[in-house]
């Protein structure tokens, strides 16, 4: 067995002559234990929130989005797009026609994005999970229906349960060169009943989702589309399909994955998590550097042992290594137990949801969400190990500072 490790282990578990050393060592272990536990729990909670938010966004955000590089629309009836639609790896292929329009309900009106979608849009999993009123129905026996975002619904005061009041949509007619005497002749005006209200995020909640056929009639566009949304089957690499489509279409089209479509959201979620990690790491560093006080007291307690070891031939490097390992053992003991307790706590929170945020909603459970990632455990362990090494190295230097004078005194 390594000599330095053996002696350090004996020092750690042996009874000290001064009780204060035991107390300081226990405080050091406790501080690292609490810091490591808190860090892994907070990171797991942020992972949980990230998964919940992204799950909602992914409900209406496709895995692959195809848009024209120039202009608003393009022809999707070409041989390439027809072949792409028949690919066996594709789960849903949705044609999109979207444009801004004026929405009126009762005496209120508001501009909004009207998004016409083909039938494959309804294949998207979890559409009902983002609904706060009604159901995600775009067509029934009575004709087309609209699903409205919560922000637009609040602005217009829409009651989706009212079967008599419908939404009026005003869109400028295409190809007009001069206005007629009646300004309303310059607009296409259609009515559609709301079937439900969805809620995801403010940027998405100001849109109106309608059937593609209704959007074509409203905007006077018979063939072209604004975009194509693609979701792949389970087990298929969406990123690989995106790169394949990007290479085949060339510079005439923009092809985006989910991260590129919601870049700002991913940046915010990532930066928030890292900021919390940095703040909690500073607190953990303070706990780790308590080890300097603990090792200083231990060195004072073991001055006679240090002199005897030196007399027996132990060099300064060996003596320094003993106290370096001693400090590492103290902090890593707290870290490992902290990670274990944090892991158990996260599992229990996932299973029982003991800690609540408040009242539950249709979109969130009222329990704090938890998502465990092995990378977080590695990150916390490396963080503690790094700062523990620095603190222990600083403290271990004290053990050999006056070793020659000690030998003379003893």
Task: Identify whether residues 50 and 71 lie together within a single domain.
Answer: no
- The 10s digit of each residue's pLDDT in 89-109 is 899 999 999 999 999 988 888
Task: Identify whether residues 248 and 328 lie together within a single domain.
Answer: no
Task: Identify whether residues 207 and 336 lie together within a single domain.
Answer: no
Contact partners, residue 164, CB within 8 Å, separation at least 6? none
Task: Identify whether residues 110 and 71 lie together within a single domain.
Answer: yes
Q: How many domains does the chain have?
A: 2
Handedness of CA 361, 367, 373, 375 (dihedral sign): positive
What pLDDT, on the 0 to 100 scale, is given for residue 410?
46
Task: Identify whether residues 232 and 278 lie together within a single domain.
Answer: no
User: 258, 279, 300 — which closes off a domain?
Assistant: 258
- The 10s digit of each residue's pLDDT in 253-295 is 999 988 888 777 777 777 878 888 888 888 888 877 777 777 7
Task: Identify whether residues 159 and 44 lie together within a single domain.
Answer: no
Structural tokens at position 18: 């001064």
Which of 39, 29, 26 is CA-nearest to residue 342? 39
Structural tokens at position 77: 């009836």
What pLDDT, on the 0 to 100 scale, is given for residue 363?
47
Rounded CA-CA distance 104/155 in Å is 10
Domain of 319, in residue numbers: 3-57+266-409
Contact partners, residue 144, CB within 8 Å, separation at least 6? 138, 192, 210, 211, 213, 214
What pLDDT, on the 0 to 100 scale, is given for residue 9?
61
Task: Identify whether residues 213 and 181 lie together within a single domain.
Answer: yes
Task: Identify whether residues 237 and 274 lie together within a single domain.
Answer: no
Rounded CA-CA distance 310/400 in Å is 10
What pLDDT, on the 0 to 100 scale, is given for residue 145?
92
Which pTM value belongs to this model?
0.70
Task: Identify whether residues 43 and 89 lie together within a single domain.
Answer: no
Please say whether the beta carbons of 87 and 276 come within 8 A.
no
- The 10s digit of each residue's pLDDT in 351-383 is 887 877 665 444 455 777 888 888 889 998 998
Task: Identify whether residues 31 and 84 lie together within a single domain.
Answer: no
Please say whether the beta carbons of 13 and 330 come within 8 A.
no
Collapsing DSSP states into helix, strand and coil, what is residue 189? strand
């Amino acid at each position: 067995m390594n000599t330095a490790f053996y002696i350090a282990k004996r020092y750690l578990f042996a009874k000290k002559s001064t009780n204060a050393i035991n107390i300081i060592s226990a405080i050091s272990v406790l501080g690292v234990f609490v810091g490591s536990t808190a860090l892994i729990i907070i990171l797991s909670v942020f992972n949980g929130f990230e998964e919940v938010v992204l799950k909602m966004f992914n409900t209406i955000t496709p895995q692959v989005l195809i848009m024209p590089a120039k202009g608003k629309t393009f022809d999707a009836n070409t041989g390439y797009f027809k072949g792409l639609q028949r690919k066996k790896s594709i789960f849903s292929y949705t044609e999109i026609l979207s444009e801004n329009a004026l929405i009126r309900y009762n005496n209120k009106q508001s501009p909004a994005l009207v998004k016409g979608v083909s039938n494959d849009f309804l294949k998207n999993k979890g559409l009902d999970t983002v609904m706060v009123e009604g159901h995600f129905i775009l067509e029934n026996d009575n004709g087309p229906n609209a699903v409205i975002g919560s922000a637009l619904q609040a602005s217009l005061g829409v009651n989706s349960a009212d079967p008599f009041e419908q939404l009026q949509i005003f869109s400028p007619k295409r190809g007009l060169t001069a206005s007629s005497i009646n300004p309303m002749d310059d607009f296409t005006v259609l009515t559609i009943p709301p079937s439900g209200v969805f809620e995801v995020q403010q940027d998405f909640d100001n849109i109106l989702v309608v059937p593609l056929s209704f959007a074509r009639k409203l905007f006077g566009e018979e063939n072209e589309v604004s975009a194509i949304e693609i979701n792949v089957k389970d087990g298929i690499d969406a990123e690989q399909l995106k790169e394949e489509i990007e290479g085949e279409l060339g510079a005439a089209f923009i092809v985006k994955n989910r991260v590129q479509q919601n870049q700002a959201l991913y940046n915010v979620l990532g930066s928030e998590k890292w900021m919390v990690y940095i703040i909690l790491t500073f607190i953990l560093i303070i706990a780790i550097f308590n080890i300097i006080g603990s090792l200083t007291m231990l060195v004072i307690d073991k001055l006679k042992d240090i002199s005897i070891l030196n007399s027996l031939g132990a060099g300064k490097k060996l003596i320094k290594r003993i106290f370096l390992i001693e400090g590492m053992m103290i902090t890593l003991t707290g870290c490992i137990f902290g990670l274990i307790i944090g892991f158990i706590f996260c599992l229990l929170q996932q299973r029982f949801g003991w800690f609540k945020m408040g009242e539950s909603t249709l979109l969130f459970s009222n329990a704090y969400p938890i998502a465990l990632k092995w990378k977080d455990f590695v990150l916390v362990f490396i963080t503690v190990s790094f700062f523990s090494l620095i603190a222990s190295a600083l403290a271990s230097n004290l053990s050999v500072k006056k070793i020659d004078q000690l030998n003379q005194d003893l």
